[in-house]
Structure 1
């Protein structure tokens, strides 16, 4: 099998374009099934990873099919964002074979993230694997690729300081708020959504003990659960517009396909606040907050791309940690490539086992017939052993007989390596490349 990864991320595509290719967890299974249906003749393995910063399609198929599947995969993905394949191609990357494995390992380890070493991506990859399994598109090769990527990520996090030299999106949001407001303990903070990212941001804000916190979510029960954890108030999403003016800081991250906080709502909130500044962070892809809001003079709006400047860390320690992580990843890539190479011999191994079983069955049946006729047991056993031996040696001896002078030395060395061991192999005389192809040893030319 062979593997390729097709994707776009924060380094190749702007935020609004990434938003067009964002899949919610509920959309992953039907999307993968639709992809498989499109390429049903090839029946490739497939997994889809979709986060705020990337959308990636991982595909595994027979080596002869892989190159033929790249363009149809690009066309399919382009359709999801209502673009042509050519338009999408300018913002995508394709990684094949070892490069695909290296890319997956770097993503899992957080080396390809906007936030170096961030850990959230690992959970998102594990969810992608679960959804691919549910869709029936995972397969042995991609399962192995992702399991190895998780192991590599674990080793990178436990053996290097990559994570120690980064700051999470959640921490970056709090840092930005601290630059705008003199005392975060005087803030009223609103979280829109109740997913993992909002939970992380709420945890960081709660540590700074703001004056009040509230959680607005489409499902009130889930919002109440998160609000209770942080001693916050739970709001209905329908009440968001009417109460927006009460909050100094708003952090939003939902799975909505359309903005839920519009320009008009923010303008009315600012008027009610007498234009006291509002700090807003939109961590959603697609956007939760209309981009025009950022043009208002009393609003400080940040997106996931805007936070990238804050989460960059530099210095010798960071570079040393990255180099150490890359070395771990390279070892993982070599291990996966070796596993793929071994998988390529599986059909041959199966054929050899089938052939050997056929020989065994034939000789055993022949021995039973001889015993039934009253033949001596020792004679029958000798014939059984001789028959199996001749069948096993027939192919090798035929190759030696048929080899031309230029090939004979290599053929003899191969046969010696396969059938001779220890001193017998060491004692094998050199093959004369100039001699005619005379018979080598006893050979009766039959398989019995």
Structure 2
């Protein structure tokens, strides 16, 4: 089989365009089935990875499919993705990338290892990939090839983190959020912080802020039960999402990351909050894709609005040590790609091996039937055995000998080498 990868990420597409293609976890299963139906390939394997920084489609194809067959699925996959994001296909093509075969595997391995992340080496992507694999498995679209590729990507990621310093030098978005808040407010323990959402990113950021012991932390979430659970873990207050507009002005720092398809905080609500705060500055971090906070808010005085893209640009790393770790990590990825490529080649040879085994078995059964008939007629056992072995030998050598006699030039030399390698033992 071969593998196709199609997607867009923080490096290829701007934030607002990425937001059109973000797929919430609860919608992944339906999207996976919709993609496979659109491809009209009953045997196609399908998985979708969607995070705040990327949306990627992975498709596995039978080994019998030639490259033209594989590439034939690029257009329908592109069309489906464009429809899903309500975007003209031409615009999507300008901001997307496509990988095929082992290069698709290399891309998946680099993603899992954090080498393709906005913040180099960040660990969250590995968990997000595992969610994508789990959803594809539940949807029944994760076949042998994609399963093998993703499992190998997880192994590569684990090896990268255990053998290199990528993880120790990775600066997370969460840590960057705290650092940004400290730059704006030098008295963070006297500040009130509001977290909107209760997902993995919010929990990670909230945990970093909790270590700074702010004056007050509050969680607002659509699901009251999940919001309450996070608030309990943090020792924070809970705010009904419906009360967000009235309470917004009470907070110095607002951090939002939800799966909402529309902004939760509009320009008018922030204008009222600033007026209520008597122009005291407010830091707003919108880590959601699509946006949770209307972009027009950034134009307001006394409001400092940062998106996930802005926050990533605040990340400072140890360049030399990071690059040394990257070189090590890329070598590990390449070794993983070579191993997966070998596995693909071996898997592609399975139909040939099976056909050869069937052919040999047919010959064996035919000659065995002749031998039994000869024995039944009273022929000498040794004569029958000689005849059986000679007949099998002629049939098995017929192909190689015919190829040697019929070939010439470079093809003849290749045939000679193959016969020597397969049938003749040299040395002792």
Q: Please identify, of 362-371 and 349-358, the stretch whose mean Cα deviation from structure 2 is larger.
A: 362-371
Cα shift at 1:409: 4.0
TM-aligned CA distance change 1:231 to 1:41, over 3 Å:
closer
Moved over 4 A (4+): 404-407
Q: Alignment partner for residue 195 of structure 1, among 196, 199, 203?
A: 199
- Offset of residue 98 of structure 1: 2.9
Q: Are 2:28 and 1:28 equivalent residues in the alignment?
A: yes
Residue 54 (structure 2) aligns with: 54
| Residue in structure 2 matched with residue 110 of structure 1 by the alignment | 114
Question: Using the alignment, how far apart are the partners of 2:410 and 2:4 within structure 1?
Answer: 39
Q: Structure 1 405/310 Cα, relative in aligned 2: closer, same or farther at 3 Å?
A: closer
**Secondary structure at 1:305 match in 2:** helix
> What CA distance in whole angstroms lies between the structure 2 residues aligned with 1:315 and 1:170?
20
1:439 paired residue number? none
**Equivalent residue in structure 1 for 2:183, among 157, 165, 179:** 179
Contact 1:193 1:215 in 2 (8 A): yes
Taking the aligned partners of 1:191 and 1:144, their CA distance within structure 2 comes to 38
State whether residues 2 and 60 of structure 1, in contact with CA within 8 Å, keep that contact through their aligned partners in structure 2: yes
Of the candidates 151, 154, 171, which is equivalent to residue 150 of structure 1?
A: 154
Match in the other structure for 1:258: 262
Q: Distance in 2 between matches of 1:422 and 1:118?
A: 53
Q: What does 1:17-416 align with in structure 2 at a 5 Å threshold?
A: 17-41=17-41, 43-61=43-61, 62-64=65-67, 65-404=69-408, 407-416=411-420
1:41 CA displacement: 4.1
Task: Note if contact 1:253-1:288 (Cα within 8 Å) is conserved in structure 2.
Answer: yes
Give the TM-score of the pair, scaled to structure 1. Answer: 0.90
Cα distance in 1 between the residues matched to 2:277 and 2:148:
55
- Whole-Å separation in 1 of the counterparts to 2:409 and 2:86: 62
The Cα offsets for residues 133-174 of structure 1, whole Å up to 9 and x where unpaired, read as 222222222212211111111111111111222211111111
| C-alpha distance 275-401 of structure 1, shift in aligned 2 (>3 A) | same
Aligned to 2:6: 6
Q: Is the 8 A contact 1:36 1:43 kept in 2?
A: no
Q: Note closer, same or farther for the CA distance 1:132–1:223 as it changes in structure 2 (3 Å cut).
A: same
Deviation at residue 276 of structure 1 after TM alignment = 1.8
In structure 2, list runs of 5 or more residues that go unmatched.
none
Q: TM-score, normalised to structure 2's length?
A: 0.94
Deviations 1:19-39 (A, max 9, x none): 001011122121121111111
**C-alpha contact 1:173 1:201 (8 A) present in aligned 2:** yes
Partner of 1:442: none
Contact 1:166 1:311 in 2 (8 A): no
Structure possessing the higher radius of gyration over alpha carbons? 1
Task: Kindly state the Cα deviation for residue 408 of structure 1 after the two structures are TM-superposed.
Answer: 3.8
